[in-house]
């Protein structure tokens, strides 16, 4: 695939590599959007072609095999028709994703802000309506799942009494299996609606009070490439991210995403091989655009091996491994107030916090092992959206408190320290 650019053709700003929008003017980067548009166009074409091939194969087998009473005919027909449904579904999904990257000179694409409630401009629900709506979709999901169970049982029974010859029971089994898959799909869609309604009406409200000009896209995240570039965590090979937030905080652009990094590996050998998944990091990942480009890189890893530099704060040194390419400049970033605050706040929050300062951006990764913006499992919180809002605001306060401490450091936002000064 063609390499992604980082220069905005509208204002000339140099963005992070692979960005789909400009951090300064907010316009879509046409070159990058075109790359992604072509990528999903190819995916869509391939999947619809495979869908057509599956349909043709199904028809050919029905004609060629002739003996519709055989178990082989039933199995092959079921697999071919199942492939048709899978490729059709994935093709529609790719087509939907493709539309997000269609470029227009007059549109702020890729992260274009949706209407206030994210649902075609309809007014947001009040708390009473919200609870009723979430209950409605939850009941639909539960009902679809309950209805699918006897359908699945009936399909299993139909296939078990079919025998080696294709019969009316085989046809019944295929039909029942398709109905079962449709019911499960509807249950998944209803469950997704619960999450969508919650995020549109609760998360957006909670974020609006903390982030100016907030753009909230639950399906997006800070990119894997940008996470990898910080080198804050090693050993992970699986990446998941969602709940992308972008806006201004006290005059500085910030981004927030829920990020989950995992290591997947196999243990044992032969028939005793087992796949094990270990969480490396889970929690909010924040970026903050600084007021200047830093002449050095400073990386703080909590609970990690010893770094290549130390401060005069013993408690801070015991908590963080510091890595930098300029130990002298490090002291302009790690002010006494910042180190004292981070050490105390980190313990109070029961989370591990990691930092990366490079270029004109600070990365803050808070490993608290939970997703702050998901529908609460607690029934009381689900039935009282105000509780959920307060929980999200509490999570955001920890983030904004750290940002407030960073903003106090004039060396990061208003200073004029050059490389030569830092080495003096």
In DSSP terms, which residues pair with 288 in a beta bridge?
254, 362
- Give the per-residue pLDDT at 65: 57
| Containing structural domain, residue 203 | 116-208
Buried residues in 42-55 as b, exposed as e (16+ CB within 10 A): ebbeebbebbeebb
- In three-state secondary structure terms, 300 is strand
Query: Among the ranges 10-24, 153-167, 191-205, which has the highest mean pLDDT value?
Result: 191-205
Angle between helix axes 71-99 and 168-198 (nearest 10 degrees) is 20
Length of the chain in terms of residues written? 424
Q: Which of 112, 129, 146 is the last residue of a domain?
A: 112
Nearest CA-CA partner of 134 in 218, 182, 199, 206 = 199
Burial of 99 (0-12, 13-18, 19+ CB in 10 A): exposed
Read off the tokens for 17: 């590599």
Q: Tell me: do 282 and 417 sit in the same domain.
A: yes
Q: Are residues 257 and 396 in the same domain?
A: yes
| Same domain as 217, residue 202 | no
Task: Verify that 105 and 125 share a domain, yes or no.
Answer: no
Is the confidence at residue 55, as pLDDT, over 70? no
Q: Which of 201, 165, 180 is nearest to 72 (CA)?
A: 165
Q: What is residue 18's predicted lDDT score, i.e. its pLDDT?
A: 52
- Could you give the C-alpha distances from 67 to 62, 63, 88, 167, 173, in angstroms and in order? 9, 9, 28, 11, 18
| Statement to judge: residues 18 and 75 lie in one domain | yes
Contact residues for 147 (Cβ-Cβ < 8 A; gap 6+): 183
How many whole angstroms separate alpha carbon 174 and alpha carbon 355?
A: 55
Predicted local confidence at residue 75, as pLDDT: 64
Give 334-390 as a DSSP string.
S-HHHHHHHHHHHHHHT-EEEEEEETTEEEEEEE-SS-TTSPPSSHHHHH-HHHHHH
Same domain, 183 and 264: no
pLDDT at 191: 86
The verdict on 266 and 188 lying in the same domain is no
Three-state secondary-structure class, residue 249 = strand
Q: Which among 89, 112, 135 is the end of a domain?
A: 112
The answer on 252 and 335 residing in a single domain is yes
More confident call, 349 vs 422 = 349
Q: What was the pLDDT predicted at 277?
A: 92
Task: Measure the CA–CA gap between 182 and 184, rounded to whole angstroms.
Answer: 5
Neighbouring C-beta atoms of residue 159, cutoff 10 Å: 20
Burial class for 317, CB neighbours closer than 10 Å (0-12, 13-18, 19+): middle
360 and 395 in a common domain: yes
> Mapping DSSP to helix (H, G, I), strand (E, B) and coil, where does residue 302 land?
strand
27 SS3 class? coil
Backbone angles phi, psi at 263, to 5 degrees: -110, 125
Instruction: Tell me: do 139 and 246 sit in the same domain.
Output: no
Number of domains into which the chain is organized:
3
Residue 280's pLDDT band, with cuts at 50, 70 and 90, is: very high
In this structure, the answer to whether residues 78 and 179 fall within a common structural domain is no
**Residue 149: burial class (beta carbons within 10 Å; 0-12, 13-18, 19+):** exposed
* pLDDT-above-90 percentage for the chain: 9
**Is residue 315's pLDDT more than 50?**
yes
pLDDT confidence of 1, banded at 50, 70, 90?
A: very low
Helix axes 385-407, 127-160, angle to 10 degrees: 110
Give the N- to C-terminal CA distance of the chain in Å, as an integer.
Answer: 45
Which long-range contacts link 302-309 to residues 24+ away (Cβ below 8 Å)?
302/346, 302/352, 302/353, 302/354, 302/367, 303/352
Confidence of residue 363 (pLDDT cuts 50, 70, 90): very high
DSSP secondary structure letters along 213-238: EEEEETT--S-HHHHHHHT---S--E
Residue 107 has pLDDT above 90, yes or no: no
Between CA 118 and CA 130, with CA 124 as vertex, the angle to 5 degrees is 110
The verdict on 232 and 374 lying in the same domain is: yes
Average pLDDT over residues 131-157: 87
Stretch 391-407: mean pLDDT? 85
CB atoms within 10 A of CB 226: 19
pLDDT of residue 3: 44
Cα Rg of the chain, angstroms: 27
Question: So what's the pLDDT on residue 278?
Answer: 93
Domain stops at, among 191, 208, 225 = 208
If you ran DSSP here, which 8-state letter would residue 270 be given?
G
| Neighbouring residues of 273: CB distance < 8 A, sequence distance ≥ 6 | 266, 267
Position 285 confidence tier, pLDDT thresholds 50, 70, 90: very high
Q: Calculate ∠ Cα 298-303-305, nearest 5°.
A: 70
What pLDDT does 121 receive? 39
């Amino acid at each position: 695939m063609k390499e992604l650019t980082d220069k905005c053709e509208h204002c000339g700003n140099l963005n992070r590599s692979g960005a789909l929008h400009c951090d300064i003017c907010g316009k879509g980067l046409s070159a990058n959007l075109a790359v992604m548009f072509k990528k999903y166009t190819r995916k869509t074409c391939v999947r619809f072609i495979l869908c057509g091939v599956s349909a043709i194969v199904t028809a050919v087998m029905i004609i060629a095999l002739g003996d519709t009473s055989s178990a082989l005919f039933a199995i092959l027909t079921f697999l071919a028709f199942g492939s048709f449904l899978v490729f059709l579904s994935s093709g529609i999904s790719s087509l939907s994703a493709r539309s997000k990257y269609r470029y227009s000179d007059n549109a702020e694409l890729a992260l274009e802000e949706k209407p206030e409630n994210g649902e075609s401009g309809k007014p947001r629900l009040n708390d009473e309506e919200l609870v009723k709506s979430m209950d409605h979709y939850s009941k639909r999901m539960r009902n679809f799942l309950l209805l699918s169970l006897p359908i699945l049982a009936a399909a299993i029974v139909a296939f078990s009494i079919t025998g080696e010859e294709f019969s009316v029971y085989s046809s019944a089994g295929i039909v029942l299996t398709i109905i079962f898959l449709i019911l499960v799909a509807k249950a998944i869609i209803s469950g997704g609606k619960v999450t969508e309604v919650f995020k549109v009406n609760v998360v957006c409200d909670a974020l609006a009070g903390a982030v100016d000009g907030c753009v909230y896209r639950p399906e997006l995240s800070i990119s894997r490439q940008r996470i990898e570039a910080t080198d804050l965590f090693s050993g992970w090979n699986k990446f998941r991210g969602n709940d992308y937030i972008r806006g201004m905080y006290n005059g500085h652009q910030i981004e927030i995403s829920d990020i989950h990094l995992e290591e997947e590996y196999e243990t044992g050998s032969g028939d005793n091989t087992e796949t094990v998944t270990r969480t490396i990091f889970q929690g909010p990942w924040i970026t903050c655009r600084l007021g200047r480009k830093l002449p050095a890189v400073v990386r703080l890893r909590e609970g990690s091996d010893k770094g290549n530099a130390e401060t005069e704060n013993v408690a801070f040194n015991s908590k963080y491994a510091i890595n930098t390419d300029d130990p002298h400049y490090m002291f302009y970033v790690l002010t006494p107030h910042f180190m004292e605050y981070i050490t105390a706040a980190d313990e109070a929050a029961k989370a591990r916090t990691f930092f990366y300062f490079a270029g004109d951006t600070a990365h803050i990764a808070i490993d608290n092992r939970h997703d702050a913006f998901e529908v609460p499992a607690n029934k009381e919180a689900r039935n009282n959206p105000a509780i959920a809002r307060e929980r999200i605001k509490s999570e955001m306060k920890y983030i904004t408190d750290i940002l407030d401490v960073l903003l106090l450091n004039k060396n990061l936002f208003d200073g004029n320290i050059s490389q030569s000064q830092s080495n003096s």
